[in-house]
Structure 1
């Protein structure tokens, strides 16, 4: 099957979508699928990753609020690329403008919308929920809900990676919603990657000895990730017990995060760890993973931390919340600093060393399920949801 993923969120400089795309290119070839990631970029270009896997970019403007990303602005060029590629199946990977551009492509080719973003949680709920109820916010943003409902009619499947997002979409009367949980790289993450020397080194860089608790946070540094809240929570918790926080990431909120760290020597902001094997060791060597964002559609880093045998401390809403269930971690009330501090202080010393790797879905299973849905839609075997 020849698949084109119109991926508006791809950036070669990192982020969860880049990780997902890299795994998709590798796994699709193993599963004998032909995959093209069609993304906006500085130039028209093609980078081959194998005989049946490639990233093709269309010259597009930079996104003004985060210049490591681009956005599609030329519907005619996008349609011309789709005409040339002639796919059997098309994905759109953004809930903004590009899925309407893809839907306008004059072709009967079946299509899916993969929800790699949850704008209502990332923006509307985050900004307004302290003031008014979620129900009121939804009423105020009815035009966006109408947009999502339109996409549910235009696309054969609306793919969500977590039950939290899928249930909200269904409750909002968005059609054709299916849940296909993501996963982690097979054999990459496990408690066996724990390295006490690495743990001691990270704690030393946080000005602490090996008896302290090492917390790790990782991911794109954006306001919706609430990293300053994590910093403040660990600072407060550190007054009661020695706590170090190692943050791995980059993004437009880095200046704000450095300001929130201030002179706290026990919290460090590191560049992203690009070496996936070393990153697996970082996670396995921590005492817990802590995350602040309730707007995740899945939360790849929480999945990787859970597979690494350490507890995750996550909000009780959004895709990350899945990894606190069934004893795999701890949850706090989303956006509640005081409750986050409480949960951090309930974490026993040495918890990670006694915690086995949690059974986490492999990314191969995710893509096998996803491609099976696409094959059925291409064959006309999967009926459209009401």
Structure 2
């Protein structure tokens, strides 16, 4: 009599379950929201991993891919909210049962989240200097207080993800690279004619170099128009500086633009796009503008500028004259559309998220093997 073997079952592992938690996710957020929205879209389109995004909101809503928890609005210019309590986030994470959690700022219950039995990656988007300079008042005092908080928040994390060196801020080296990519809209196509204006696109904040850009404009012998696209906490200070420098007739304020196609068109339509901030921890605007075929300016300290090579005109930090010189070079230059097209094609979000997923799978496998 031949014994009957049990039927073989094909066992397939489910995709990795990733939860991103981001406090600074507002209606007019910059690079963090761009990254997270692109990540959610990639997960839906490919099914490569299960993805949930948790952000502060007006009320609790956990029915979709993006979950919101109750929070108080603290910044009307960009829609930022401050979460109410720690327990709702911890309870929701336990309910979602993630394989790995990515915390995109150090202020929304990092120690409580790290107490859950799941790998936690702290994502380093900001910096001590960036955060301290964003606040009016004693920058040195802010820096000391924020530094202590950051080191405590990052100390017990299973990994640190960053596009720059976070050791001076957090006391931890980056164990995973933070990768950025490009939407298909950012490509040197279209028939836009370059105008005469210089374009700034981003948050209107002291830490973003907008005041220094105004100083550079005032030094210029050629009274080129300057367009400021965005909103932020420093709008009052910017308006005061515009009047003080006699730039009222040269500066135009433009609303924040979320539509990717319209933003790419705005980049290409400018004589040049300037990212003047010296404290950028990546600098997605320069990345997008150069890929769109725009003549682009960025500070040498921006990580994105180091990736752009000859597609960007750079200037050293702390030198308004050098900033103006870089703007004048960019205004006079003819963008290399072929090089921009090659760069855009090589840096799509798909490549960035595929590589990130491989890193996260490796981290989770290591944790489970312990």
Q: Does 1:87 align with 2:98?
A: yes
Quick one: structure 1 residues 244 and 351, their matched pair in 2 at CA, closer, same or farther if it must change by over 3 Å? farther
Q: Does 1:30 align with 2:41?
A: no
2:199 and 2:79 map into 1 onto residues whose CA distance is 24
> Of 32, 39, 45, which aligns to 2:61?
45
Q: CA deviation at 1:69?
A: 0.9
SS state at 2:225 partner: strand
2:316 and 2:137 map into 1 onto residues whose CA distance is 16
Could you say which residue in structure 1 is the equivalent of 2:6?
none
1:46 and 1:16 map into 2 onto residues whose CA distance is 24
SS state at 2:213 partner: helix
> Of 16, 20, 40, which aligns to 1:5?
20
Q: Deviations over 1:182-238 (max 9, x none)?
A: 1211x2112213402xx4xxx5xxxxxxxxx4321101112211212212212322x
Quick one: structure 1 residues 326 and 126, their matched pair in 2 at CA, closer, same or farther if it must change by over 3 Å? farther
Question: Is the CA contact 1:2–1:87 (under 8 Å) kept in the aligned structure 2?
Answer: yes
Q: Deviations over 1:41-87 (max 9, x none)?
A: 22112463xxxxx2111112233696721123411111111111111
Q: Deviations over 1:78-122 (max 9, x none)?
A: 111111111111110003353223213xx3211111112223344
Larger Rg: 2
Quick one: structure 1 residues 297 and 151, their matched pair in 2 at CA, closer, same or farther if it must change by over 3 Å? same
Quick one: structure 1 residues 27 and 249, their matched pair in 2 at CA, closer, same or farther if it must change by over 3 Å? same
2:50 and 2:174 map into 1 onto residues whose CA distance is 25
SS state at 2:276 partner: coil
> Of 290, 297, 316, which aligns to 1:313?
297
Question: Is the CA contact 2:209–2:276 (under 8 Å) kept in the aligned structure 1?
Answer: yes
Any gaps of 5 or more consecutive residues in structure 1?
Answer: 49-53, 132-136, 204-212
Q: Does 1:336 align with 2:319?
A: yes
CA RMSD of aligned residues (A): 3.2
> Of 72, 79, 92, which aligns to 1:61?
72
Q: Does 1:77 align with 2:100?
A: no
Q: Deviations over 1:246-282 (max 9, x none)?
A: 2211122222223333353232110012322121111
Question: Is the CA contact 1:292–1:335 (under 8 Å) kept in the aligned structure 2?
Answer: no
Quick one: structure 1 residues 379 and 355, their matched pair in 2 at CA, closer, same or farther if it must change by over 3 Å? closer
Could you say which residue in structure 2 is the equivalent of 1:277?
261
Could you say which residue in structure 2 is the equivalent of 1:210?
none
Question: Is the CA contact 1:193–1:285 (under 8 Å) kept in the aligned structure 2?
Answer: no
Quick one: structure 1 residues 243 and 264, their matched pair in 2 at CA, closer, same or farther if it must change by over 3 Å? same
Q: Deviations over 1:4-34 (max 9, x none)?
A: 1111111123322222222111012223122
- TM-score normalised by the chain length of structure 2: 0.82
Q: Deviations over 1:330-361 (max 9, x none)?
A: 22222422221222233352523777416142
Question: Is the CA contact 1:288–1:352 (under 8 Å) kept in the aligned structure 2?
Answer: no
1:306 and 1:151 map into 2 onto residues whose CA distance is 35
> Of 171, 188, 191, which aligns to 2:188?
191
Q: Does 1:182 align with 2:165?
A: no
Could you say which residue in structure 1 is the equivalent of 2:238?
257
Could you say which residue in structure 2 is the equivalent of 1:227?
210
SS state at 2:82 partner: coil
1:219 and 1:344 map into 2 onto residues whose CA distance is 17
1:62 and 1:128 map into 2 onto residues whose CA distance is 22
Question: Is the CA contact 2:216–2:320 (under 8 Å) kept in the aligned structure 1?
Answer: yes
Q: Does 1:288 align with 2:297?
A: no
Could you say which residue in structure 2 is the equivalent of 1:117?
126
Q: CA deviation at 1:152?
A: 4.4
Quick one: structure 1 residues 267 and 153, their matched pair in 2 at CA, closer, same or farther if it must change by over 3 Å? same
> Of 93, 103, 112, which aligns to 1:101?
112
SS state at 2:25 partner: coil
Q: Between Structure 1 and Structure 2, how many residues are aligned?
A: 348
> Of 158, 161, 167, which aligns to 1:159?
161
1:328 and 1:365 map into 2 onto residues whose CA distance is 21
Any gaps of 5 or more consecutive residues in structure 2?
Answer: 1-15
Q: Does 1:362 align with 2:348?
A: yes
Question: Is the CA contact 1:148–1:174 (under 8 Å) kept in the aligned structure 2?
Answer: no
Quick one: structure 1 residues 369 and 275, their matched pair in 2 at CA, closer, same or farther if it must change by over 3 Å? same
Quick one: structure 1 residues 6 and 356, their matched pair in 2 at CA, closer, same or farther if it must change by over 3 Å? same
